[in-house]
Structure 1
């Protein structure tokens, strides 16, 4: 198995681009796939630098319907128009941060290889997708400004469009989520319902980034409680992107070696 962070907010390889976005390249026994495509064509450019052949990718999983995960799909499609692009049907709906549109490029929906799904889907014996996370423990505070369109009216996003990828390989399970908008603890609760136990490894942002000043005491309490619960699990977590450096550093003081930072261009395994 091979996993490389193609795009992340921070750079870990000379010549690679960092941007606010996420894209992860994965090779399994049966697949070459991408979880998300970043915000621009950075994933394509970084793959060239790293010697990764994106024309061989057979599957793209879009974790949710935001621009910083989907913006690279059109540049990717110009070099690879055969890979299946799988997203929840509701990921195609309009999404906003306040008044600002942050949803996907609608041209993506015209691609013939896009597959819209609803709910949980097992793709094969290696790949499983699940959504429908409804818990709200330690819910990311940054979600409060994020909206979706419902009948022409902007309402609080419930992140029904978020899906998680589980990869079963070499006797281990990897759980991948772009941002964990539904909260990583709630995602893991849903994972436990399906698989029992916890995954061996998790790759995700925790959506704890804050752009308008320091975290409040309430926000810090959510971050620390999340870290305290995660460190009790027999799981290693790889995180970055929307986690934000202050939140990551705070979680690191609690989780130690169980929390590892992601960077553009770096190999995970």
Structure 2
């Protein structure tokens, strides 16, 4: 199997970088898109630069934040109602979301398209969509993790948003995460109840994390003896630097290819 990073905050060579995340998951007979980045321009151009077609067998959204969903505009504009592949998203992903006064939820046009989409798969419990690909569903939060001050609108009022729709996928034996809003330790511990796990790549959501929490995550990961650790997107410079001396560490960016 192969995971190819399509959108990320950093890029190498000819590829385009943008805050957000998207990855292509290839198996022998399938090609799945995990997240779409934050706009169609970057998604489309990185596909072209990688000589990748948009012939996906499914799309999976990790959660309902714009920098993981709004690149889906590409598929709406190109295929519209002719699009007919399974799209997996958590059932709680469609709320209005804010970080301070800034709207950070799914674009309204995308949200409306998905809500009426004939092949939409609403997820809450784990879903095994192929022999080598499992969608986590809702992640239990039994271990400490640091949160940001995200909010959502319910009944006309802003309330705390813990981003309950946060999900990862297990690709063979590697966790692929969009943002890990549930906390790295919670994600790994839950993944181990679903499948054998030997690594984690994607966003670790530690961009503004305390030094104590970064060290807690590092100490935990040391106990896992993973063969692959690749923090990207929202992990942040300080956390990435701290994790970079670990066995299995690989710096990830747009254009990175992981053979699983």
Partner Cα separation in structure 1 for residue 8 and residue 216 of structure 2: 25
Partner Cα separation in structure 1 for residue 84 and residue 66 of structure 2: 22
Partner Cα separation in structure 1 for residue 3 and residue 129 of structure 2: 19
Instruction: Indicate yes or no: 2:217 matched with 1:226.
Output: yes
Q: 1:150 aligns to what?
A: 154
Alpha-carbon contact 1:43-1:72 (below 8 Å) kept = yes
TM-score by length of 2: 0.89
Q: 1:27 aligns to what?
A: 26
* 1:41-98: CA deviation from partner (whole Å, max 9, x where unpaired): 21221010110111x1111110011000001011134345233221001111111112
CA RMSD of aligned residues (A): 1.8
Partner Cα separation in structure 1 for residue 249 and residue 144 of structure 2: 18
Alpha-carbon contact 2:64-2:94 (below 8 Å) kept = yes
**Corresponding residue to 1:107 among 88, 101, 109:** 109
- Per mean C-alpha deviation after superposition, the further-off stretch among 119-128 and 60-69 is 119-128
**Corresponding residue to 2:234 among 242, 250, 267:** 242
Instruction: Indicate yes or no: 2:14 matched with 1:10.
Output: no
Count of aligned pairs between the two proteins: 250
Q: Assess, with a 3 A threshold, how the Cα gap between structure 1 residues 136 and 7 changes in structure 2: closer, same or farther.
A: same
Task: Report the secondary structure of 1:65's partner residue.
Answer: coil
- Per mean C-alpha deviation after superposition, the further-off stretch among 220-229 and 110-119 is 110-119
Partner Cα separation in structure 1 for residue 99 and residue 167 of structure 2: 20
Q: 1:84 aligns to what?
A: 86
Instruction: Indicate yes or no: 2:117 matched with 1:94.
Output: no
Displacement after TM superposition at 1:5 (Å): 0.6
Partner Cα separation in structure 2 for residue 148 and residue 119 of structure 1: 22
Partner Cα separation in structure 1 for residue 138 and residue 124 of structure 2: 9
Task: Report the secondary structure of 2:121's partner residue.
Answer: strand
Post-superposition, which runs of at least 4 consecutive aligned residues in structure 1 deviate over 4 A?
Answer: none
Task: Report the secondary structure of 1:261's partner residue.
Answer: coil
- Per mean C-alpha deviation after superposition, the further-off stretch among 117-126 and 26-35 is 117-126
- Map 1:131-170 to 2 at 5 A: 131-140=137-146, 143-168=147-172
Partner Cα separation in structure 1 for residue 50 and residue 127 of structure 2: 31
Q: 2:206 aligns to what?
A: 208
Which residues of structure 2 form unaligned runs of 5+?
A: none
Displacement after TM superposition at 1:136 (Å): 4.9
Q: 2:187 aligns to what?
A: 187
TM-score by length of 1: 0.86
Alpha-carbon contact 1:95-1:146 (below 8 Å) kept = yes
* 1:162-205: CA deviation from partner (whole Å, max 9, x where unpaired): 1121223xxxx12111011010101111122233xx51222221
